Structure 1
Amino acid sequence: MREGGAPSIIVRDNDQAISLVQVYEEHMVSSAETEHITVKDQEFDLTHIRLRANSSHSHVIAFCAAKRLVKEESITGKIPGLYGKLHDESSEFIYACYVTSPFLDKTVRSERTGFDIMENSNGLFAHELSLDEIRDAVIAKATDYLSIFLEEKKLKAKDRLEDFVSRKAPRYRPILARIPEDKLIIDPNISDKELDLKLHRHLSDIEEQLLTDGHDVMNPKSNEAFSEYQKRLEKYLKTAEDIKRSDLANYVSHRRVILDILEKAIQRDSNGRYVREDLIHNLIMPMRCDSNEIMLDSCNLWLLDERLAFHDYLASDKTISSMPITNSIETKEPDILALNVFDNPILVSEGNKLPLASIVVIEIKRPMRNDAAEGEDKDPIEQAIGYLDRIRRGTVTTASSRPIPSSENIPGYCYVICDITSSIEKRCKIHDAVRTSDGLGYFFYHRIYNAYVEVVSFDRLVNAAKERNKAFFDKLGLPTI
C-alpha cells in the first residue's frame, strides 16, 4: 500500500522484540497482487492478498481511506464456490481484497467508521456512484482472481448436491436444470437441512413463476402471432411437467422415510424396550380423529393396503357411537375404547357404490407384546371381530348418512398388526388360522361373521410395503434394503 514498500519495524517490550516483517511473512501466503479498475469515472486500486488460514476466519473486502482500514465486509458465499478455506499449491488461505481510491478518501467520515456514499443509486440519483456498484465491481475482479482456486470447491459442491438429490431428495432432480448454475454452487459442508431449505426456496420460486405464467398463457397477448403463443404455451407445459415429476418424486420419497421410521420404531431401544403402540398408530394414522378432520396426506394406510386410500369414511381411535357411519347404541363400547386407549382400532368404511361397501378394522399392538389370551379383552383377533360385529348391529350408513342395504351382511376385513409371539401364535392356531408362506403372519376366513382376518407381523408389514414400492424406489435411486 505504501510506495517503496513497508519499512523494517521492530517492536520491543523489555526483553521481548517482535519483527513486524516476520509477523507479516507468517500471515501472508504469497506476495500481494494489485490491479486498477474504473467505476463511473472513479479510479480504484485493488490489492489481492492471500492470508494464512489461521490469521482470519472469513474472506473479506476491506475498504480503506487515508491509508487506514475503514470497513470490512465478508464475501463468503457471495462468489460461487467461496466457502471455507481455499487451497493453493502450498497451503490453505483466506482471501482479502483491499480497496483504495481518492474517491474513498474524499467520502470517508471523520470518525472513519464508514463512507458518505449511497448504498444504492436509482431514480433521480442514478448518475451517482453507489457502494453497491463499487462492491459489485470489486467482487467481479475478485471472482476472476480466485477462479483457479475455486474449481476444486465447485467440484465438491457438485458432488455434494448430486449425492443429496440422489439419495435423499430426488424430488428436486426435475427442477435442477431450471435453477441458475451459479445458484447450485453450494458450500460442500452444508447440512442436509440447510440444503433442503435452499432447494425448496428455488422450487417455490419456480412454482410461483409457473403460476404467473399460467395466468399469462390463459390470456394471449393482443396481436401476438400464433407461433409465439405456441412457444409460450410449450414452455409453460414443460415447466408444469417438471413440477409434477417433482411432486411425484416427493410422494415416493415420503414413503421411503415413513418405512425407515417404522423399521426403527419396531426395534428395541438402548434400554431394551419397545415403543408403545400409539407411536406406530400415529405413524399409520393420527389418533383421535376422522377423515373429516385430517388430510389424506397425513395417513399412511398404504403401509397395509393401497386400497385403503379410497374410502367413504375413516376414523382413528374414536368411539363407535361417535362415528357418523353407525347408529350404534352399544353401551359397552365406550368403556372398552376408553379403557384400552391404545388398543382402539382404526376403522375404515370404503366404497360408495352400494351395495359394494365393506368395513375394515385395524388393530395395532405393541411390538413383541406377549400377553394374548382367551377373551375379547386379551385376544386382539376377538377384539377386531367384536368391533366389526358391534358396528354392523348399529346399522351402517355412508358418511353422508345414506343407509346401506343389509348392513349386517357387509363384508368385513380385520387386520391385526403385531409381532408373532408365542401367545399370538397360540391364539392364531385356536382360530384355525393358516400360516403365511414366509412365516410372518396368519390368515383365515370367519364364516359366521363374514370376515377375512389377517394377522400381520411388523416385519411382514415393512417387507410387503417395501416390495410394493420397490420399483418406485429403484426408479428414484432410493435404497430398498
Structure 2
Amino acid sequence: MKFDVVGRIRNMRLPDGRSALMYSIYEAVSNAIHAIEERFGTVEFSKRGVINILIDINADKTLKFIAVSDNGIGLNPRHLTSFETCDTREKQKINGRGVGRLMWTKVFNGIHVRSTYEVGLDGYKEVSFRFIPEIDESISEKEIRDSRDELMGTRIVLSDIKPDENAGITASVLTRHLCHHFFPYFIAKSMPKLSVTFGRRELDIGNYLSERVESVAEQEILIEAPKIGNIKISHVYADKNISQEFSNSILLTAQGRVVQNIEIEKKFALRGLDNGKAYVCVVGGPFLDEKVDQERAGFKATADEIDSIKDAALEAAEHFLSAHIAKIRTAQKRHVVDILEEHPQLAISVENVDGYVAGLSPSMSDEDIGKTLFTLLYRHEKRVRAQIKSIANDVASEEGTSSQKDKIDKLVQKVSDDAKRRLAEYTIKRHQIIQLARSLLKYSDEERKTYQWEKSLHEIICPMGRMLSAKDYDNHNLWLIDDLLSYYSFFASDKAMSALGIEGERKEPDLVFFNPYGFRREGTNDPVVIVEFKKPGDEALSSDPVNQVLDYVERLRSKTVKGPDGEVIMDVLDHTPFECIVICDLTVGAKKKFERSLAQNPTPDGMGYYGYSPRHNASLRVLSYAKVFRDAQIRNQSFFEKLGMLPQEVKDALSNAAQAAE
C-alpha cells in the first residue's frame, strides 16, 4: 500500500489559524517532555529537565519563527528513524501517536531540526536537517558532526509560516494557552522547567503558575461502566486571569494534556467563590489516555462512556464545593421566603421551602427563581381551569357518577386553598401599606416644625385632587380609616365644593363621601362622611379642626351634590346625618383644644375623642394617626390567622415581621 503524506495531513482533524499555531507549539513541547523523561527517568525528569520556547516577530508584527529546545535524550539513530516514520509506534508505551510533527507542516513551510545525542559512553554527535514530510526523503540536508555533552538535547525551529495561517500571537496569549493545555502536568508537579522568551520578555511558566494555582484535593473514583475503571480527579483553585478556557470548568485530560472543557460556572454559581479564585476539576485516567484521538482534540469513546465520566466529575465537584453551594442555598432560601411573603399564592408549588430550594440549580438568579414560581402558579391555575371545565361538561352531559362527587370535593378544596393564599397576599399588601404609612410618622423634634410628608400621607390613604366611585377600589387605601368608606358610591378628595355643583363654595374638604354601600336609597338618612387630616406634629393646631368640619357641614346642608358630568349624586337634606372624622397627632396643645370642644369625650384607649353636635346632626370622631394605623393593623391581623396554607418558614417570617411592626 502506498502512503500519501499530503493526503494524510489533509485528512487529519487539525484546527486553523491561531489554534493550529498553538497546537504546533504543543506538539513540540510534548515531544520535548518525552525526550527529557527518557533521558532522566520518571523520578528526575521534572527536576532536571529544561524546555525553552523562543518567539521572534517581524517588524510588521507577523511571526518570524518559533524555536523549541530541550535538554532531552536527543535524536539518536533510533529516534531519527522514528521521527521520519509516520504513525510510528516508538512512543506507544507513553501514549505517543507518532503524528504530532505533521501538524507543523500544516502551518509552517520551514521546519529545521538540530539535535545532540550520546554515542557510546563518552561521545556525542549532533545531527541537523530540514524536515519535509511531503517528499520521500523527508530528512533533507542532513549533516552529522561531533559535539559536546552540554549541548545534548533538541532544538526545533518552525519558520516561514504559511500566509493563511499567520494568526496574531502575543506573550500573554501564549502563556495562557500553555498553562491551559499542559495544566495536568503543572498541577502534578511533573512539568520540566518551561520558559518562554518573547522579544525581551522572559517568563518561567512553572513559577508563574505555582504562584497562582493551589491544588487542594485529589481523589480516585471507580466508574462501574464497562472498561472505564478508575479516574483520578484533582480539585484546584486558580487565579481567574490565568486562562478563561479552564476557569470554573471540568477538564477532561489525556496523556498530561487538556482535551475537553466542561463549563460549570453557571451550574454552581462559581463567580461568587469566597476566596475570589476560579475552581478547576481536572479529570484523567487510563481510559481517557487510551481513548484520546490522534489530534488530542476529542475522545474515541461512546457518548455514554464520556457522559458517565462527566457525571462522576460533576458529582465530585458538587461534593467538593458543598460549603459554597450551602451558602448559595441559604441565600436562595431567604429569597424564596421573601417572594412567598410578598406573593403567598405562589406557595402552591412549595410545600416545604428547604425541599424546594434543594431542587433549584445553584446558578439560578433571584429573577430566575421568581419567574419559575410564577410559571408554576400559571400552570397550576391552567390545570384547575381544565378540571373545572371537565367536570362541568360531565354534569351537563349527565355522565356524572358517584366518583364525580369525590373529584368535585377535591377540586372545591383546591380552589378554597388557592383563595386562602390570595387572601394572604391581600393581607400582606395591606401590612406593607401600614408599615409605609407608619414610617412617615417618624420625625425628630426639629422635623416636627417643618413636617414635609403631609401630602404623601394623604396620598397613601387616598389620591388628592380626584373624584372617585366604588369602582375605584384599587386606587386608594381608605380601609386604613374604616373599611366601610371603600364602599361609598361617590367621594371627592381635596376638591373644591364648587366642583361638586355647589356654586360659589371654594372650600376643599380633604375627603367627603356620599351614598354609602354603592347605591342610593331615596328618603333615607344615609350619612355624609367628612374626613379632615391635620399635619402630623402640629403642636397647637393652627385651626380648630372641629369647627372646620362643622363649617363644611353647614355649607353642604340643603344642597344638591353633582358629579363631574352634572349628574345628581345626592340631595343633602336638613335632617341628613353627618359623620365627621378628624385625624391628627394628639399633642399636648391638640388635646387641650379638643377637651374644650364638642368632641371632648376621650376614647377608652386614650388615643382619640368623640362627641356629637345636635344642631348639625353630626357625630364627631378625633383619631390620632397612631390609633388609625394601630387599629388598621389589628383588623388586618385577623387575616394572618388564615395563612395556614403557607410553608412554616414563610408563616414564621410573616409573624416576625408583624411583631416587629407593633
Q: Same fold (TM over 0.5)?
A: yes
What do residues 128-186 of structure 1 show as CA deviations (whole Å, max 9, x unaligned)?
A: 989xx988994686247635864972974686368547866655445413999556645
Q: Give the conservation status (yes or no) of the 8 Å contact 1:82–1:150.
A: no
> Following the alignment from structure 1 to structure 2, what is the Cα–Cα distance between the partners of residues 195 and 71?
28
Aligned to 1:389: 554
Instruction: Report the counterpart of residue 578 of structure 2 in structure 1.
Output: 412
1:257 positional shift: 1.0
Structure 1 position 264, deviation (Å): 0.7
What's the offset of the Cα at 1:379?
2.8
Separation in structure 1 between the aligned mates of residue 490 and residue 634 of structure 2, nearest angstrom: 28
- Tell me the CA shift for residue 391 of structure 1: 3.2
CA separation in 2, counterparts of 1:180 and 1:216?
35
Deviation at 1:329, TM superposition (A): 2.5
Matches within 5 A, 1:43-442: 48-52=233-237, 59-61=248-250, 67-68=257-258, 72-74=262-264, 76=266, 78=267, 84-85=272-273, 94=279, 96=281, 138=310, 142-143=314-315, 146=318, 150=322, 153=326, 156=330, 160=334, 164=338, 170-173=344-347, 175-177=349-351, 181=355, 185=359, 199-220=373-394, 226=401, 233-268=408-443, 272=447, 274-292=451-469, 295-323=472-500, 328-333=501-506, 336-337=507-508, 344-347=510-513, 349-351=515-517, 352=519, 354=521, 355-370=524-539, 372-373=541-542, 378-396=543-561, 407-433=573-599, 434-442=601-609
Shift of 1:214: 3.3
Write out per-residue CA displacement over residues 62-102 of structure 1, whole angstroms, 9 at most, x where no aligned residue.
578995466553453x47x9995499xxxx99464769799
Which of residues 634, 637, 648 in structure 2 aligns to 1:470?
Answer: 637
Matched, 1:457 2:624: yes
Amino acid aligned to 1:242: D
Contiguous gaps of at least 5 residues in structure 2: 1-29, 31-93, 96-183, 644-654
Cα deviation per residue 1:281-318 (whole Å; 9 max; x = unaligned)?
11112223333497413322121112223222233223
User: In the superposition, relative to structure 1, how do residues 454 and 18 fare at CA in structure 2: closer, same or farther (>3 Å)?
Assistant: same
The Cα of 1:17 is off from its aligned counterpart by: 5.1
| Closer, same or farther: CA 231–439 of 1 in aligned 2, 3 Å | closer
Which string of whole-angstrom CA distances, capped at 9 and with x for unpartnered residues, describes residues 370-392 of structure 1?
A: 4534xxxx333333233333334
420, 434, 447: which one aligns with 2:614:
447
8 Å contact 2:490–2:569 — kept in the other structure? no
Secondary structure at the aligned position of 1:266 is classed as coil
Percent identical pairs in the alignment equals 22
State how far apart, in whole Å, the 2-side matches of 1:223 and 1:106 are: 72
Q: Say which is worse superposed, 154-163 or 352-361, in terms of deviation.
A: 154-163
> Would you say 1:19 and 2:184 are equivalent positions?
no
CA–CA separation in structure 1 for the residues paired with 2:308 and 2:575: 77
Normalising by structure 1, what TM-score? Answer: 0.70
Distance 2:417 2:631 in 1: 30
Change in Cα spacing, 1:106 to 1:52, as seen in structure 2 (3 Å) is: same
Task: Give the letter aligned to residue 505 of structure 2.
Answer: K
Query: How many angstroms does 1:261 deviate by?
Result: 0.8
Query: For the Cα contact (< 8 Å) 1:330–1:390, is it kept in 2?
Result: no
Measure the CA separation in 1 of the matches of 2:353 and 2:387.
17
> How far did 1:244 drift?
0.9
AA aligned opposite 1:10: K
Q: Structure 1 stretch 266-275 or stretch 432-441: which is displaced more? A: 266-275
Residue 142 of structure 2 corresponds to which residue in structure 1?
none
Of stretches 175-184 and 461-470 in structure 1, the one that deviates more from structure 2 is: 175-184
Aligned to 2:658: 479
Measured after TM superposition, the shift of residue 394 of structure 1 is: 2.1
Contact 1:371 1:423 in 2 (8 A): yes
Q: Does 1:29 align with 2:29?
A: no
1:330-370 deviations in whole A, cap 9, x for unaligned? 3132xx33xxxxx7335354133622522111111221124
Q: Tell me how far 1:444 sits from its aligned partner.
A: 1.0
Structure 1: how far apart are the matches of 2:499 and 2:229? 78
TM-superposed CA distance for 1:320, in Å, is 3.1
Conserved 8 A contact 2:558-2:572: no
Match of 1:479, SS?
A: helix
Unaligned runs of 5+ in 1: 115-127, 338-342
Once the two structures are TM-superposed, the CA of residue 250 in structure 1 deviates from its matched residue by 0.6
> What TM-score does the superposition give when structure 2 sets the normalisation length?
0.53
Residues 1:332 and 1:53: Cα distance change in structure 2 (over 3 Å): farther
Deviation at 1:28, TM superposition (A): 2.2
From the superposition, tell whether residues 290 and 16 of structure 1 become closer, same or farther in structure 2 (CA, over 3 Å): same
SS in 1 for 2:658: coil
Give the C-alpha shift of residue 407 in structure 1.
3.1
How far 1:227 moved relative to its partner?
6.4
Equivalence for 2:69: none
- The structure whose RCO (Cα within 8 Å, separation 6+) is larger is 1
> Cα distance, 1:258 vs. partner?
1.3
Task: Give secondary structure in 2 for the equivalent of 1:177.
Answer: coil
The residue type equivalent to 1:364 in the other structure is F
Letter of the 1:329 counterpart: I
CA distance in 2, matches of 1:385, 1:160: 52
Cα distance in 2 for residues equivalent to 1:346 and 1:190? 50
**1:252/1:10 Cα in 2 relative to 1: closer, same or farther (>3 Å)?**
same
Distance 2:641 2:546 in 1: 36
Q: Is the Cα–Cα contact under 8 Å of residues 284 and 300 in structure 1 kept in the other structure?
A: yes
How far did 1:456 drift? 1.0
Q: Distance in 1 between matches of 2:239 and 2:590?
A: 65
Provide the rounded CA distance (Å) in 2 between the counterparts of 1:303 and 1:469.
10
More strand per residue: 2
Is the 2:553–2:578 Cα contact (8 Å) retained in structure 1?
yes
CA distance in 2, matches of 1:391, 1:107: 95
* Aligned residue in 1 for 2:141: none
Instruction: Specify whether residues 25 and 463 from structure 1 end up closer, same or farther in structure 2 by C-alpha distance, changes over 3 A only.
Output: closer
Residue pair 1:175, 1:242 contacting (<8 A) in 2 also: no
1:459 Cα offset (Å): 1.2
Superposed CA RMSD in Å reads 5.3
Supply the distance in 2 between the matched residues of 1:248 and 1:26 (Cα, whole angstroms).
55
Q: Does structure 2 retain, via aligned residues, the 8 Å contact 1:347–1:360?
A: yes
Please identify, of 238-247 and 381-390, the stretch whose mean Cα deviation from structure 2 is larger. 381-390
CA distance in 1, matches of 2:630, 2:270: 45
Distance 1:86 1:422, change over 3 A: closer
| Residues 1:9 and 1:219: Cα distance change in structure 2 (over 3 Å) | farther
Going from structure 1 to structure 2, the CA distance change for 1:332 and 1:219 (only over 3 Å counts) comes to same
Q: 1:381 to 1:103 in 2, by over 3 A?
A: farther
Distance 1:302 1:49 in 2: 63
